[in-house]
Amino acid sequence: MNTEISREVRRIAIVGPECTGKTVLARFLANHYGSVWVPEFAREYLEQLGRPYQQADLTAIAQGQVDIENQLASHANRFLFCDTNLIVIKIWSDFKYGSCDPQIISLMQQQQYDLHLLTDVDLPWQDDPLREHPHRRQELFDLYESELTRNRLRYRIIRGHAEARNTAAIDAVEQIR
């Protein structure tokens, strides 16, 4: 990876529970700023897995997420919008399995973001075979906020529907310029 490029590019991670509009927001922001967005590697990985995932798969997903983010950083124009990051994988591992592989923690601590956008649970649930907990989104949201606060990471909560959500996200990004 070209570290000079990565320093020039502001990395914004969009994190939060399942079905809270992370992908839609990442696409919108990338389009708005004429840049690129990093898709959630877990989705691609799980769709091709051919079996139920296990905790060990989360380490492979974490590495894949880091790899794709680093690849796309060189194509970013000022901002790189990441539809998830390793905080999501850590929270999920802790939530589902009660622990997290130290390798994921190590990778997570190496990642640097200028801002985290934490998406609220105010959007309606949409069924998807890869989603698991429609009734525990607030609990997960609270875990995300605790993790961001505990690690003293810069974040903004993004709420509202459609235009209000997009405007709140743009305002948050503009504050780090």
CATH of the domain at 37: 3.40.50.300
Range of the domain at 69: 3-174
pLDDT of residue 126: 79
How far apart CA 112 and CA 78 sit, in angstroms, is 15
Q: Residues 102-127: pLDDT tens digits?
A: 999 999 999 999 999 999 999 888 77
pLDDT of residue 155: 98
Q: Residues 46-79: pLDDT tens digits?
A: 989 989 899 999 999 999 999 999 999 999 999 9
Q: Residues 27-39: pLDDT tens digits?
A: 999 999 999 999 9
- Listed as own residue / partner, the contacts of 161-165 with beta carbons closer than 8 Å and 24 or more positions apart are 161/122, 161/123, 165/21, 165/25
Give the residue among 89, 15, 22 at the shortest CA–CA distance from 58.
89
How far apart CA 14 and CA 81 sit, in angstroms, is 7
pTM of the prediction? 0.91
Rounded to 10°, the helix 86-97/55-73 angle is: 170
Q: How many domains does the chain have?
A: 1
